[in-house]
């Protein structure tokens, strides 16, 4: 049997091994991609803007007339903050904003207080970019199988914890919160098997459902 201090050391090593901080902002290719977004949208005013991760980026861009999709794969609240700072510096403006973030935060390693602070700053930034209406989307569940694989997605419990924080921030910041609208994508606390190709991301059928929801809110 391991000595107590040895057991704690082993558990600590396992914990560190499982940590997945969001380091997109440190990658040259990612910074270049965000810069290109800013350059192509410089000084433009959009009626609607969608910000999010790969689930939202799969909907394509543009989403409709004067409706831009700035979502990018891998984004969490950490990297979304950096993206928004770059877009704001380019004087990109958005009247109606939808923030679909949190799914990767449930997978990455992030403290609850850091997540809350990031989301509050994200809302503040979008308001400074001209947003008169802001709606946040809860983190997405993955399939049951995917949620049990730490290399693929966050656990159901962590997704629910992140969503509780999103609800709190939405209430404090007085912004809209998507609730029943996205229920068709899920079966209880899991992503519907017929709407995904890998347990996490939406297939064409799932994207059609999600896109209708997004457009109904942004337009």
What six digits make up the tokens of 195? 């709407």
Q: Which residues pair with 210 in a beta bridge?
A: none
| Domains by residue range for the chain, with CATH | 27-218 (3.40.50.1110)
Is residue 105 within 8 A of residue 153, CB to CB? The reply is no
**pLDDT at residue 211, as a whole number:** 96
Q: How many residues does the chain have?
A: 219
pLDDT of residue 11: 31
* Other Cβ atoms within 10 Å of 39 Cβ, number: 10
Contact, 66 vs 50, CB < 8 A? no
Residue with tokens 């192509």: 40
pLDDT of residue 9: 36
What is the CB-side half-sphere exposure of residue 38 using CA atoms within 13 A? Answer: 17
3-state SS of the chain?
CCCHHHHHHHHHHHHHHHCCCCCHHHCHHHHHHHHHHHHHHCCCEEEEEEEECHHHHCCCCCCECCEEECCCCCCCHHHHHHHHHHHHHCCCEEEEEEEECCCCCCCCCCCHHHHHHHHHHHHHHHHHCCCCEEEEECCCCCCHHHHCCCCCCCCHHHHHHHHHHHHHHHHHHCCEECCHHHHHHEECCEECHHHECCCCCECHHHHHHHHHHHHHHHC
**Nearest one of 127, 60, 138 to 99, comparing CA atoms:** 138
Task: Judge contact between 77 and 119, C-beta under 8 A.
Answer: yes
Query: Using one digit for the tens of pLDDT, what is the confidence trace for 135-160?
Result: 999 999 999 999 999 999 999 999 99
Residue ranges, the chain, pLDDT below 50: 1-18
């Amino acid at each position: 049997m391991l000595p107590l201090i040895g057991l704690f050391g082993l558990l600590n090593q396992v914990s560190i091994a499982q940590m997945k901080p969001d380091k997109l902002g440190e990658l040259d290719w990612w910074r270049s991609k965000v810069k290109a977004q800013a350059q192509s949208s410089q000084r433009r005013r959009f009626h609607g803007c969608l910000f999010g991760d790969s689930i939202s980026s799969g909907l394509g861009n543009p989403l409709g007339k004067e409706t831009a999709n700035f979502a990018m794969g891998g984004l969490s609240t950490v990297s979304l903050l950096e993206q928004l700072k770059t877009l704001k510096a380019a004087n990109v403006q958005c009247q109606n904003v939808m923030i679909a973030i949190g799914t990767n935060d449930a997978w990455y390693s992030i403290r609850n207080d850091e997540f809350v602070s990031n989301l509050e700053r994200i809302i503040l930034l979008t308001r400074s970019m001209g947003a008169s209406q802001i709606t946040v989307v809860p983190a997405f569940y993955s399939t049951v199988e995917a949620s049990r694989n730490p290399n693929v997605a966050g656990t159901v419990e962590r997704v629910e914890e992140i969503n509780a924080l999103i609800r709190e921030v939405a209430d404090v910041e007085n912004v809209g919160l998507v609730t029943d609208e996205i229920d068709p994508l899920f079966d209880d606390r899991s992503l519907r098997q017929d709407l995904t190709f890998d347990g996490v991301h939406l297939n064409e059928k799932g994207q059609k459902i999600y896109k209708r929801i997004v457009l109904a809110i942004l337009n």
